[in-house]
Amino acid sequence: MHLPLSDMYNQPDERNLLDQMRQGVIGQPLDRPEGPLKVSGTATYAAEWRIDGCVEGVLVLAGIAQGQVSKIDRDAVLSREGVIAVIADPAMTRRPAQGMAAKAPQQDAAKVEYFGQPVALVVAQTFEQARDAALALPIYYTDAEGDPVPFDPAAPGVKVEAPSSSKPVEGGDLDQAMQDAAFSVDVEYDTPGHASAAMEPHATIAQWQGDSLILHGSYQMLSYNVKEIADCLGLSTDKVRIIAPYVGGGFGSKLGITHEAVAAALAARGLGRPVRVVMSRQQVFQTVIRRSETRQRVRLAADPAGRLIGLGHEALVSNLPGEKFAEPVTQATEFLYGGENRLLKVEVVRISRLTAGSVRAPGEAVGMQVLEAAMDELAEKIGIDPIELRKRNLPAEVPVAGTPYSSRMLTQALEQGAEAFGWSARQDRPCQTRDGDWWIGMGVASAARVNMMVPAKAKVTLTADGSAVVESDQTDIGTGSYAILGQIAGEMLGLPMSRVDVKLGDTVHPAGAGSGGSFGAISTGSAVMYACEAIRAKLAKALGCDADALVLKDGMASGGNAPARPLRDLLNGEDIAETGTIKPGKTAKSFSQASYGAFFAEVAVHAFTGEVRVRRMTGAFGFGRVLNAKTARSQCLGGMVWGIGSALTEELAFDTRDGHLVNHDLAEYHVPVHADVPAIEVILLEERDAAASPLQAKGVGELGICGAAGAIANAVYNACGVRVRSFPLTLDKIL
């Protein structure tokens, strides 16, 4: 075994260390160790910490869309029972950052830029007193100067800009290819805004100790969130500690710090006592983050053999003026299919609605659902099976860029998924299968999501008694970080899971990757692996064998000619602690890295009402090594459930007169419930990707949503012959 010369992951690591280990825990469908705490209600979520002397803050959101706050009449509520303070501060109104410590634009406290922007915080002894005063707080506004920013992306005169975050991809002559094509599709689809709708609403308890700040909160990216809060309050980062051992979902909405964190920190500093701010479900919807709606034009040009010669994907998304983020709709289109003549482009319109940001699988979630529906349209025109069309159009290298693929299981996913699903029973033409009053149809779509690695650190201690402790500020947002990181350490150090303890979600630990972009497990997991590799080198030395020959299993060490010895003896009463570090190097850029899969859906469409029910779904996915077959399956399954929502029900509705979000809770924003979710089968395809990470694993967290809604839309067409190009496919559009 050779220790990595550098922590930069610069070339594919072919050693495949994990497969040489003997413990046999990696990849196993092990339960999450923190699961019992969560299901028994004993895991402490952000708002549940008991802090002595803590008082309660409730945010007040702007009741206008654009203008100035001219006066906040504090006296009108300060005399109410229990009310302690009304706080308004410029930092509090700061838009949610996009994670990654991107500096959010600073704003004047008095300026309101969208309906629902936080403008004040009311603090009282109890939550009810604070909420009551917040509702009663008189706020006076003056109108905005100059032309208002439009509320609707379709409004006349909206400002359209090229986003700074992405460049168009252009190659050849797409218009000419469309003219030359034997078969072509030129269609426009739209997708609505989405909410992250994480189970746990955003909440923070802020507590100062001298000039140091401790936040108990619900965030995805702790070491970045420390930078954001420090930047916001003018602190140095070593003065901020964030504690978030359990996070009840994020889906992008907790990548960056949000208003309640800043408000709680400011109020706690001003009042000299701990302050808790919990957002209501409605506040989360109104002010945290939205996925932009999109309008997408897809052009596909194919030759007589059904090979793409041209591919166009142009998207219009929206955000507030000045925001960098633009939903990267064409991200997977860049590398998925061929077509040398191409134009891929995203443009952003400036409107006055809450900030648009990353919501699970930004880009692919909505880009793939549309691209895959358009591919279905092309398959029908050509008259070939939609699976065959996809298989014919997988390029040898990324078009235009010429980058090689690190690994790609798309063909296998399509074939094995089709087999398991029973695709051969599908009728080529729509309206062929009827079950009582229901039309039955089947649809397919590819899945693709970019694979990313980000810098991460983790510390592993092999304690003198032969147990391991893993420490990182990596979060577990319900995805399985505790289980997976423990399995990596257990495998590398030859320990059963009962002897591995994982401590996460606290910035006193080394900075992990955080949970975002499907990179948490592979990035922080690679750091854990490197830390263990360094421990193994020391153990080999103590045992007197080559590192390559060291075998660790069930707490015993052996290797070479050395007799097997318990780890405890080798350690001689001393702990061994090592910190592993991983950073993406040139490898990240020299290969196109993505996770792939395929979705299959069977739907029923009611012949008289247009109601759509998903009857069953199958997904097959290849994302490198499977680190834990249970948590990976859960991620894929959860993504497919969101696919059902994207296809059929989920849609943010904004009032076009003032940009305010009308359906701001789970009663009116319809996520799928049990009755909407049929049998879902998930097939995990084992693969090794040495370029993606030392674990040979790629990201899986977001893969399950990337295209799922397209398979459902295609099944709806196959059932009833109605092609709806506007998501969600509600019954009014189908009739």
Q: Which ranges of 431-575 does DSSP label H, i.e. alpha helix?
A: 481-493, 520-543, 567-571
Nearer to ligand MOS, 223 or 718 (CB): 223
Distance CA 714, CA 693 (A): 35
Nearer to ligand MOS, 331 or 714 (CB): 331
Residue written as token pair 């034997």: 182
475 binds ligand MOS (CB under 6 A): no
250 binds ligand MOS (CB under 6 A): yes
Nearer to ligand MOS, 301 or 329 (CB): 329
Token pair listed for 169:
């991809």
Stretch that binds ligand MOS, among 277-285, 354-362, 463-471, 640-648 (CB under 6 A): 354-362
Binding mask 208-227 for ligand MOS (x = CB under 6 A): ------------x-------
User: Residue 278 in 3-state DSSP?
Assistant: strand
User: Could you tell me if 360 and 702 are in contact, meaning their C-beta atoms sit under 8 angstroms apart?
Assistant: yes
454 binds ligand MOS (CB under 6 A): no
Give residue number: closest CB to ligand MOS: 252
Nearer to ligand MOS, 252 or 672 (CB): 252
Task: Enumerate residues 641-670 that contact ligand MOS by CB under 6 A.
Answer: none
Name the burial class of residue 615, with classes exposed (0-12), middle (13-18) and buried (19+) by CB atoms within 10 angstroms of its CB: middle
Nearer to ligand MOS, 254 or 276 (CB): 254
Residue 702 beta carbon to ligand MOS: minimum distance, rounded to whole angstroms = 6
Give buried/exposed letters for 581-611 (b at 16+ CB in 10 A, else e).
bbbbeebbeebbbbbbbbbbbbbbbbeeebb
Kindly report whether the peptide bond that precedes residue 728 is cis, defined as omega within 30 degrees of 0.
yes
Distance CA 579, CA 461 (A): 9
Nearer to ligand MOS, 328 or 441 (CB): 328
360 binds ligand MOS (CB under 6 A): yes
Strands 275-278 and 55-61: parallel
Residue 250 beta carbon to ligand MOS: minimum distance, rounded to whole angstroms = 5
Stretch that binds ligand MOS, among 100-108, 144-152, 251-259, 432-440 (CB under 6 A): 251-259
Residue 399 beta carbon to ligand MOS: minimum distance, rounded to whole angstroms = 26
Token pair listed for 164:
């700074």
702 catalytically annotated: yes
Stretch that binds ligand MOS, among 71-79, 353-361, 418-426, 648-656 (CB under 6 A): 353-361
User: Residue 387 in 3-state DSSP?
Assistant: helix
Nearer to ligand MOS, 219 or 600 (CB): 219
Distance CA 328, CA 291 (A): 11
359 binds ligand MOS (CB under 6 A): yes
What string of DSSP letters covers 626-692? -SBHHHHHHHHHHHHHHHHHHHHT----B-TTT--BS--STTTS----GGG--EEEEEEEP---TTT
**Bridge partners for 229 per DSSP:** none
Residue among 506, 493, 664, 657 nearest 578 (CA): 493
Binding mask 53-82 for ligand MOS (x = CB under 6 A): ------------------------------
Residue 417 beta carbon to ligand MOS: minimum distance, rounded to whole angstroms = 25
Distance CA 81, CA 254 (A): 33
Within 10 A of 404 (CB to CB), how many other CB atoms are there?
Answer: 12
Nearer to ligand MOS, 133 or 356 (CB): 356
Nearer to ligand MOS, 101 or 539 (CB): 101
Binding mask 121-160 for ligand MOS (x = CB under 6 A): ----------------------------------------
Name the burial class of residue 655, with classes exposed (0-12), middle (13-18) and buried (19+) by CB atoms within 10 angstroms of its CB: middle
Strands 308-319 and 341-350: parallel
One residue of 355, 358, 475, 524 binding ligand MOS per CB under 6 A: 358
Residue 318 beta carbon to ligand MOS: minimum distance, rounded to whole angstroms = 17
One residue of 118, 163, 252, 638 binding ligand MOS per CB under 6 A: 252
Nearer to ligand MOS, 479 or 628 (CB): 479
Distance CA 728, CA 613 (A): 13
Residue 220 beta carbon to ligand MOS: minimum distance, rounded to whole angstroms = 6
Query: How many residues of this chain bind ligand MOS (CB under 6 A)?
Result: 11
Nearer to ligand MOS, 193 or 610 (CB): 193
Stretch that binds ligand MOS, among 4-12, 247-255, 324-332, 426-434 (CB under 6 A): 247-255
Stretch that binds ligand MOS, among 58-66, 163-171, 358-366, 368-376 (CB under 6 A): 358-366
255 binds ligand MOS (CB under 6 A): yes
Q: How far is CA 690 from CA 11, 418, 584, 624, 711, in A?
A: 8, 28, 13, 9, 30
Distance CA 704, CA 682 (A): 10
Distance CA 127, CA 117 (A): 21
Distance CA 634, CA 445 (A): 20
Nearer to ligand MOS, 97 or 139 (CB): 97
356 binds ligand MOS (CB under 6 A): no
Residue 727 beta carbon to ligand MOS: minimum distance, rounded to whole angstroms = 18
256 binds ligand MOS (CB under 6 A): no
Stretch that binds ligand MOS, among 141-149, 248-256, 390-398, 717-725 (CB under 6 A): 248-256
Binding mask 95-114 for ligand MOS (x = CB under 6 A): --------------------
362 binds ligand MOS (CB under 6 A): yes
Residue 270 beta carbon to ligand MOS: minimum distance, rounded to whole angstroms = 32
Q: How far is CA 339 from CA 168, 300, 592, in A?
A: 15, 8, 17
Token pair listed for 353:
């609605």
638 binds ligand MOS (CB under 6 A): no
Residue 495 beta carbon to ligand MOS: minimum distance, rounded to whole angstroms = 31
User: Residue 416 in 3-state DSSP?
Assistant: helix
Q: How far is CA 172 from CA 77, 337, 480, in A?
A: 66, 15, 45
517 binds ligand MOS (CB under 6 A): yes
Distance CA 489, CA 598 (A): 31
Token pair listed for 379:
């398959």
619 binds ligand MOS (CB under 6 A): no
**Which DSSP category does 515 fall into?**
S
Catalytic pick from 34, 372, 533, 702? Answer: 702
Catalogue the active-site residues: 702
Interface residues toward ligand MOS, by CB under 6 A = 220, 250-252, 255, 358-360, 362, 516-517
